A and B are shown apart, each in its own frame.
Chain A
Amino acid sequence: MTDNLHLLLPEFLLASLAILVLGVDLFLPAGRKHLLAWLSVAGLVGLLVLSLLMLWGKDISLYGGLIKTDSYSLLFKVFFYVLGGVVILSAVDFVKKHLRSPGEFYAIVLFAVLGMSVMAASVELLTAYIALELMSFSFYIMVAYGRNNPKSNEAGVKYILIGAFSSAILLYGVSLLYGAVGVTRYDEIAAALTTAMANADAVSPTLWVGLALVLVGLGFKVAAVPFHMWAPDTYEGAPLPVTAFLSVGSKVAAFALLLRLFGEAFMPTIDQWQLLVAVLAAITMILGNVVAIAQRNMKRLLAYSSVGHVGFMLLGIAALSHVGAESLILYMIGYAVTSMAVFTALIAFFNVTGRDDIADMGGLADSHPFLAAAMAIGLFSLGGLPFFAGFTIKFYLFTAAATQGLLWLSGVAMFSSLISLYYYLMVVRQMYIEPAPAWAMEEAEEEESVYDEQATTGKPSKLIVTVLAALTLGVIFVGVYPFPLLEAIKSAAGALLGAS
């Protein structure tokens, strides 16, 4: 049972790395804290290589079946390490300028990454819950990180109260489920459900209530409608890199958990929950995309847009099968790359101007053509235009749903995707056609008349431009040539649902 403990080495080392960052933070002078970002990223790269070397092709469960190291865990582990690195790199300038105590910030990002990778690997309810809470706690702290910023405080309070509330609901579901089947390991739950389904009329109603409450609890975590009301406020108030991490990391991690839970444990009862998840997916994508139209702030717009994308990802859960799981994993990866690209462009814009309303983005194509182009590519991709990741991932996902007999849901998804294109293109229009807003004009005039060194620093740093360029290439790469990715995904889905 404990022979294979070394397979958890990446997790142990990641926790040590986070503590190391906290420790080194104590000895660094205030001006050199950004070195911690490089330390964290170097550590993550090292761990990435280590996990690939050590865990490639392994399929072993540890701790008496609490955690599994298979290709599904490995794929998400690699994904979250890369995501953590990208988030840290794109946050460096922002943290330097706006946040106090940067050392703890990077350490908490690392803890969140640890929680996420365990979420994808755990195959038992309690382990999954603890990992989920490790990630959530890190996010609670990060959201409230602007300590003297009332908006950040408010976002933190709203997030942690709703988060704790949803945890309580999730746990109540878990306790009812445990009361009904008496086991918590995914494979044992699946076995118990299969036996129970043989005599479906005799199934205790607590089982169904428990299942529904688990779904509701996780629905809060991923911000599915009607449990999404915390998302826009939290996204708007949180520091921008945290918003990016929250909208990408927490969603992908929660869906990695959901996919594993539903694929490995709840699969025998798919007929009972499929319609429920499908309806949830339909209202989530419609409401998220419709409400996004009315938003004036870029962060709120992206919050509602991410609610819409959660709807699309729920569609993958509803269409759970080999193709469904594969296209859902592809969707998560494509969405993450695209969304990070948009957020990184927004962070760069915010670093330069200190603003994040859509109206402020007027004339961006003239003042910062690269930022505007990168953001436009990201938004086109979110909207699902061909040649970018968004088209490919939506194509695979909607096709998978249609082949699983959810044709109506694919139709709803395509329709709401069309709606989403409208508000994404409004932002592009603002950047390329509308003139620069008044404050930018004034600044430009001041710059000319005063001509001091300070005023000409209005350029995004080389670091963030590099990250942004890499992400943009990633968006195009996933859009045009996703086949190497598909190989890895196929193997991951195979590990989840058994060979096809």
Chain B
Amino acid sequence: MIDLAFFQIVSGALFAIGLYGVLARRSAVLVLMSIELMLNAVNLNLIASAAFLDPSRFTGLIIAIFVITVAAAEVGLALAIVLRIFRNRATVNLDEIDLMKG
């Protein structure tokens, strides 16, 4: 018998890998990919919860569809902005994008 907890553990691991990627990667594109990984952990969690908790209602599945859509839009927007900075500065390395120090 496979428990909901197994899915939550896999999803948690996926989320942690994504989190590590966001913190450790220096290329804007790789950071975006890591964020995608985190969002996929969310989707896995939602779909597993929906299947285990209330198979008759599919709130979790609907949220997952919305998350996929919003994530696609987000990546599109982020890549557009990254492209601008690449045109102007010829780099996507986040350590070199440092005109302002915070």
Contact = CB atoms under 8 A, between A and B. Distances in A.
Contact of B45 (A130, A154, A155, A175): A175
Contact of B42 (A148, A172, A229): A172
29 contacts: A129-B66, A129-B70, A130-B70, A133-B70, A144-B84, A148-B88, A150-B85, A153-B81, A153-B88, A157-B78, A157-B97, A160-B77, A160-B78, A164-B32, A164-B78, A165-B38, A168-B15, A168-B42, A169-B38, A172-B15, A175-B60, A175-B63, A176-B8, A178-B60, A179-B8, A182-B49, A232-B102, A233-B102, A237-B100
A416 interface: no
A176 B74 contact: no
Interface in B61-87: 62-63, 66-67, 70, 73-74, 77-78, 81-82, 84-85
A187 B28 CA distance: 40
A33 to B, nearest CB: 22
Given A167-B70, A182-B49, 13 more contacts: A125-B63, A150-B85, A150-B89, A154-B97, A161-B35, A161-B94, A164-B32, A164-B78, A168-B15, A175-B46, A178-B59, A232-B100, A236-B100
A254 to B, nearest CB: 17
Contacts of A129: 66, 70
B54 interface: yes
Given A144-B81, A153-B81, A175 B42 contact: yes
A452 B60 CA distance: 67
Nearest to B83: A153
A141 interface: yes
A261 B38 CA distance: 23
Contacts of B81: 140, 144, 153, 156-157, 160
Given A144-B81, A147-B84, A172-B15, A161 B31 contact: yes
A57 B97 CA distance: 51
Of the listed residues B48, B62, B82, the one surrounded by the most CB atoms of chain A closer than 10 A to its CB is B82
A355 interface: no
A168 B100 contact: no
Contacts of A175: 11, 42, 45-46, 49, 60, 63
Interface string B32-47: 1001001101100110
Of the listed residues A137, A160, A178, A230, the one surrounded by the most CB atoms of chain B closer than 10 A to its CB is A160
B54 to A, nearest CB: 6
A287 interface: no
Contacts of A148: 88
Nearest to A156: B81
Contacts of A158: 97
B1 interface: no
Contacts of A164: 32, 35, 74, 78
Given A182-B53, A206-B8, A153 B35 contact: no
A230 B48 CA distance: 34
A126 interface: yes
Contacts of B74: 133, 137, 160, 164, 167
A244 B32 CA distance: 27
A179 B82 contact: no
Contacts of B22: 161, 165
Contact of A179 (B15, B35, B49, B62): B49
A72 B56 CA distance: 33
A144 B88 CA distance: 13
A174 interface: yes
A290 interface: no
A153 B85 contact: yes
A137 B84 contact: no
Of the listed residues B41, B49, B97, B102, the one surrounded by the most CB atoms of chain A closer than 10 A to its CB is B102
A182 B70 contact: no
A206 to B, nearest CB: 7
B84 A156 contact: yes
A229 to B, nearest CB: 6
Contact of A157 (B8, B28, B60): B28
B4 interface: yes
Given A165-B22, A183-B59, A150 B38 contact: no
A137 B78 contact: no
Contacts of B15: 168, 172
A171 interface: yes
A175 B15 CA distance: 12
Given A137-B73, A175-B49, A233-B102, A150 B4 contact: no
A173 to B, nearest CB: 9
Nearest to B101: A233
Nearest to A297: B100
A184 interface: yes
A34 interface: no
Contacts of A165: 22, 35, 38
A429 interface: no
Nearest to A158: B97
A178 B78 CA distance: 28
A322 interface: no
Nearest to B100: A233
A140 B32 CA distance: 15
